[in-house]
Amino acid sequence: MKFQELKAKVYELAKVTTTQQLKVKYEEIKTLDMRRRASWEKALSVIQSQRNEFETWLENPPEEYKDLFAEIKGASQKYDQKSTEAEQLAQEVLLMANSFEALANECQDEAVQLEKEVEASRRIRKQAELN
């Protein structure tokens, strides 16, 4: 693996963009000289081992965390459900608003037509009074 590819992989796995961020995130890397390839290889090893440890821990966490994770999962599912319901309601509201807008336009058109009819009947009445 090329040196630049190694650095890119370390940054990607660590989810950082600078060596300073990398050293802040991983205590074991603080003392490494990041100008050297061996340091980047060590950093990759440290990051991968910590990720593996964490994944192993996640597969079988202590009981108190299992309960907490179950609560989080339940809350997340409930949030997803409520979010879906909110999206559906928002779509319904939008449809209603569009219907109201169309109805308002119809009423406006009818009002304009009635005004024309009233004006026409006034002219006819005036004409009839003059005759």
Q: Are 16 and 22 in contact (CB under 8 A)?
A: yes
pTM of the model: 0.53
* Amino acid symbol at 74: G
Give 71-123 pLDDT, tens digit per residue: 999 999 999 999 999 999 999 999 999 999 999 999 999 999 999 999 999 99
Burial label, 47 (beta-carbon count in 10 A; 0-12, 13-18, 19+)? buried
Task: Give pLDDT, residue 63.
Answer: 86
The b/e string for 98-118 (b: 16+ C-beta within 10 A; e otherwise) is eeeeeeeeeeeeeeeeeeeee
Which tokens go with 17?
A: 């963009």
